[in-house]
Amino acid sequence: MAQLQERPASPGTPLGHRLKGLLYSQRLAPYFFIAPFVITLLAFWAVPLVRTFVMSTQSVMFGEAAFVGTDNFERLWHDRIFWQAMYNSARYMVLTLVILIPVPLLLAVVINARLGSDRLKNLFKASMFIPALTSVVVAGIIFRLMFAETSTGLVNQVIAWFGADPVRWLRTDLGGLVALLALATWRYTGVNILYFLSGLQSIPDELYEAASIDGAGKLRQFFSITLPNIKPTMVYVTTISIYGGLAMFLESFMLYAGNSSPNNQGLTVVGYLYRRGIEENDLGYASAVGVVLLVVIMAINLTYLTLTGTFKKESR
User: In the window 186-205, what residues touch other proteins (CB under 8 A)?
Assistant: 186, 189-191, 194-195, 197-199, 201-202, 205
Answer whether 300's CB lies under 8 Å from 121's CB.
no
In this chain, which of 12, 17, 18, 51 binds other proteins, going by CB under 8 A? 51
How far apart, in Å, are the Cα atoms of 17 and each of 24, 31, 235?
10, 20, 50
- Give the phi and the psi of residue 20 in degrees, each rounded to 5: -60, -40
Applying CB under 8 A, the span of 66-74, 75-83, 88-96, 184-192 interacting with other proteins comes to 184-192
Q: In terms of CB distance, is 195 or 265 closer to other proteins?
A: 195
Told to check if 278 binds other proteins by CB under 8 A, we report yes
Applying CB under 8 A, the span of 67-75, 79-87, 90-98, 253-261 interacting with other proteins comes to 253-261
Told to check if 67 binds other proteins by CB under 8 A, we report no
Residue spans of alpha helices (H) in 43-153: 47-55, 71-77, 80-100, 102-112, 118-133, 136-146
In this chain, which of 92, 167, 270, 275 binds other proteins, going by CB under 8 A? 270
- Give the phi and the psi of residue 182 in degrees, each rounded to 5: -60, -45
Kindly write out the interface string for residues 15-44 of this chain, putting x where it contacts other proteins by CB under 8 A and - elsewhere: -----x--xxxxx-xxxxxx-xxxxxx-xx
Q: In terms of CB distance, is 112 or 172 closer to other proteins?
A: 112
Nearest to 237 by CA among 191, 200, 299: 191
Q: In terms of CB distance, is 81 or 110 closer to other proteins?
A: 110
Q: How many CB atoms lie within 10 A of CB 143?
A: 24
Nearest to 262 by CA among 175, 169, 172: 172
Told to check if 266 binds other proteins by CB under 8 A, we report no
Backbone Cα Rg of the chain: 26
Q: How far is the CB of 299 from other proteins (least distance, A)?
A: 11
Told to check if 307 binds other proteins by CB under 8 A, we report no
- Give the phi and the psi of residue 22 in degrees, each rounded to 5: -60, -45
Q: How far is the CB of 74 from other proteins (least distance, A)?
A: 20
How far apart, in Å, are the Cα atoms of 185 and each of 92, 139, 257, 265?
12, 12, 20, 19
Told to check if 223 binds other proteins by CB under 8 A, we report no
Q: How many CB atoms lie within 10 A of CB 111?
A: 20
Q: How far is the CB of 111 from other proteins (least distance, A)?
A: 7
Q: In terms of CB distance, is 151 or 263 closer to other proteins?
A: 151
Q: How far is the CB of 68 from other proteins (least distance, A)?
A: 17
**Residues in 154-183 at the binding interface with other proteins, rule: CB under 8 A:** 154, 156-157
168-203 residues labelled b (16+ CB within 10 A) or e (exposed): ebbeeeebbbbbbbbbbbbbbbbbbbbbbbebbeee
**Residues in 99-138 at the binding interface with other proteins, rule: CB under 8 A:** 107, 110-118, 120-138
In this chain, which of 3, 64, 80, 165 binds other proteins, going by CB under 8 A? 3
Size of the site for other proteins (CB under 8 A): 134
Applying CB under 8 A, the span of 50-58, 70-78, 83-91, 93-101 interacting with other proteins comes to 50-58
Beta strands in the chain (DSSP E): 58-61, 64-67
Distance CA 303, CA 19 (A): 47
Sorted by sequence, the CB contacts under 8 Å of residue 221 that are 6+ apart come out as 208, 211, 212
